[in-house]
Amino acid sequence: MIKSYNSFEVAQNQIRDAAKILNLDPATLDLLLRPQREFAFTLPVKMDTGRVKIFQAYRIQYNFARGPAKGGIRFHPDETVDVIRALACWMTWKTAVVDLPLGGGKGGVICTPRNMSVRELENLSRAYIRAAAPYLGIEKDVPAPDVYTNPQIMAWMMDEYETIMQQHHPGVLTDKPMQIGGTEGRRDATARGGVITVREACKAFNVDPTGTFAIQGFGNAGQRAALLHQEMLGGGKLVAVCDSRGGLYDADGLPVKELVMHKLKTGSVKDFPGAKAIDRDAVLELDVDVLYPAALENCITHENADGIKARIVCELANGPTTPEADLILYDKGVHVIPDILASAGGVTVSYFEMVQDHTLDFWSEQKVHRRLDEKLTTAYQTMQEAILEKNVHPRLAATVVGVARVAEACELRGWVAPDEARKNLEF
């Protein structure tokens, strides 16, 4: 039986582990264990039937020490405040690990988007911004899409914010359509960032980047990772893939472009011609050089971690590896690129979008890709230095880097007393 986890408790335990390594004082630890601001909203929304339905919504701004909060807004029927707290917490370390001048935040609305019309989704999106507008802004908090939200929803939200403020504020939300302030390079940013970190991991651990790889989850991130892995790493053989409806295996390699087209046409990888059908969970335990978990949280646990044979695991999904599994994989010599680094390409390019909207100087796709590569390469190398210096597993190393940078900013601002072990905070 798979153990149930409270996401925020997991996040807090990760902070405590990092604090021990960094020798943080009690006040700094206490500050970092909790969000700085939390907002709960009750949203009345007019539905297509003419009746009003009430939705519960949240926005959590975890830490502002390094800059305005940054993080997505998700629409989900099973949303909880603790999940949003955890995601806002992890966003704080994610922006710090890639050295962006941002803090971390997250928002959510408890709803079932697939049961709502386009008009109802627009009404809900605008209602959220009417409630949250006083707490948002390019110098306060900049949301983006997340689960079941998209660029169109960001466009509605930006329009509502600008209507309230009676000014143009394109940078108040990111991942918008290109025509109203979006940026080149955003659609594939998460996957591209992940592949960059895989490239660096292959160098560090002497793994052939043109070897075999498998992808668990074939949504946007998984599809783009499949294409970019081959494009950016000079090849590579995709031998297995799965989605919610099934899995595929071909030892000779699956044709990636044709598989992506099949998925877009049919909604699943299932029944792709010429490939062997396998159980979707079996994809995780194949003998491959690189594994991309790009779907579910808690899919690698203490129950199956011993069966993971990949040399590198690149977490494009949020929280695919449980705390116990982290330790098992580390002991086995499996190198995990943790989600707060592996999936940081998205927030990095969102930051680039903020910069472009603020300056009205828009970049070419090549410039976005180059700047993203610089950021993720440096961040991976910094994490690797922390792994070696502190002798810890990669997730803890990345958390140590993020927590150290945020703690130092808190100290420099005078929020907490100077730490006599200041050298521990320098990354």
List C-alpha distances in Å: 6 to 17, 111, 179, 327, 364.
17, 21, 40, 19, 42
Q: Which residue has the tokens 């914010």?
A: 161
Question: What's the rounded Cα separation, in Å, for the pair 204 and 200?
Answer: 6
Q: Are strands 104-110 and 52-63 parallel, antiparallel or unpaired?
A: antiparallel
Question: What's the rounded Cα separation, in Å, for the pair 34 and 19?
Answer: 14
Say which amino acid occupies 225.
A
What does R_g of the chain's alpha carbons equal in angstroms? 21
Name the token pair of 257: 């472009």
Choose the catalytic residue: 106, 176, 237, 375: 106
Contacts of residue 163, Cβ cutoff 8 Å, sequence gap at least 6: none
Asked about 106 being catalytic, the answer comes back as: yes
343 closest CA partner among 404, 297, 389, 391: 297
Question: What's the rounded Cα separation, in Å, for the pair 206 and 203?
Answer: 5
Burial zone of 55 (CB within 10 Å; 0-12 exposed, 13-18 middle, 19+ buried): middle
Q: Which residue has the tokens 């690698």?
A: 300
Dihedral angle over CA of 329, 229, 181, 162, nearest 10 = -30
Task: List residues with catalytic annotation.
Answer: 106
